[in-house]
Structure 1
Amino acid sequence: MPQKKEDYITNKVLAVFTVCLGGVLILMGLKKLIDFGTTFLIGMMVVRILMGVAALGVLVGIFLAVREKKNGVDNTYRILTGRNIIIVFAAAFVILALVHHYGFPIFKVFYGLLPVLAVYYLIYHSYQPEFCVMSVDCGVAIAMLLIVRRAQISANVKYLAWVAAALCIALAIVQIAAVLQIKKAGSKLKLGTHKWDFRFSSNAYGMMLATPVIMAALVTLGAAMGLTIALYAIFVAAAYLFVTAVYYTVKLM
């Protein structure tokens, strides 16, 4: 059973990477069509066709999920399940709908977001839970700092820099409260009927308490000090993520 579970996780991570890479390639093809006036209408028609395919995929996923539940199918080590099909095609439909409505800005967003999601999925399954939490903290901080820089360039939306800083501070407070509660409960968390038993390392709580504070401070500093400092703050957050990634990778060996 342990070997079967290991293979399942490996194949699932590979499947997520494949789907995300396929999504990026499809978006690149659509952008090439929409980029030129001569093929713009064809590109938009392809987007609508793909939206229809995605909607059909969601319906197929719902049908399979209902049938699996009715027949009592065990999906413990299965990748091609109704639930997973629904998630993939629903995400595809949302992305295509955004492309159809907003056009070019959406391509840049998902060129970066899809690979990042695949990497985070790998981290979630392969690394210690505390590093997964810290990597999310760093990723959110870098995203907020990019928003800060964009807001500071435009005179009309400068307030967004402080909105991003406030959001980062709020998330840090929530995380600190959750970590303290989990520590108090002996690495256990209960929400309603759901229970989680975490296996954190000896220094995990200190790292999970310090990281959100550091990231919130970097975002606030970027919002207060301007474009150049915000750029340096991005480098610091990325360096922090890299150093912790190396540390936890070594611990896995």
Structure 2
Amino acid sequence: MMENSNNSQHISHKFDQEMESLRNQVLKMGGLVEQQIAGAIESLQSVNAAGAEEIILRDHKVNALEVTIDESCTQILARRQPAASDLRMVVAVIKTITDLERIGDEAEKIAKMALNLAEDDAGFSSRYSGITHLGDHVRQMVHDVLDAYARQDVDAAIKVVRSDDKADEEYQNLMRLLITFMMEDPRRISEVLDVVWAARALERIGDHAKNIGEYVIYLVKGKDIRHLDLDEVEKDILS
């Protein structure tokens, strides 16, 4: 009996190590994605072709991490057959890395728009400052949701989910402004369209950060809050 007990403890300890490794891999991927967002926005604002190309080339690192983590999750599911909270952890990881990979894709799109502006010898006008505000907001969302994931902080995750409304509002305001610019000066339509697509990519990054916030809540509370009223959810899970 003692031998069986020791063996069970060994298996449990090994499983805990695997789960901690999984968590650290997700945070590593998140850190890389944060760098991609920051670099993409900077290359757009400065119309930096070299910086944009670097972001595009680095996207494969994000993709490779997604594949590695996904394989680790598959192995854990096959060998450990986790239950309850451990199963939620693996499911949350699989969902989170999918959204992180898509955030990386959106950062790459922004870098490509910066490259287009550079190739067209177009500048980043001060009248596009709205995209800077939107970029700052969604970058903070990604940072905050990764912090919430690391600490399994439900309250912080809910704040990120709520803050997506502000990202959507900033995006809509920016779109109205950009359409006005195109109507006022049709010669700059191509340039403004590049900014439009970059703004759309930023709005999508906010959506993916919101998704990750929902996964954190699912992980900690075991509750899927998608399509639910957030006020009611907050009352229910934080009371």
TM-score, length-scaled by structure 1: 0.38
TM-score, length-scaled by structure 2: 0.40
User: By percentage of residues, which structure has more helix?
Assistant: 2
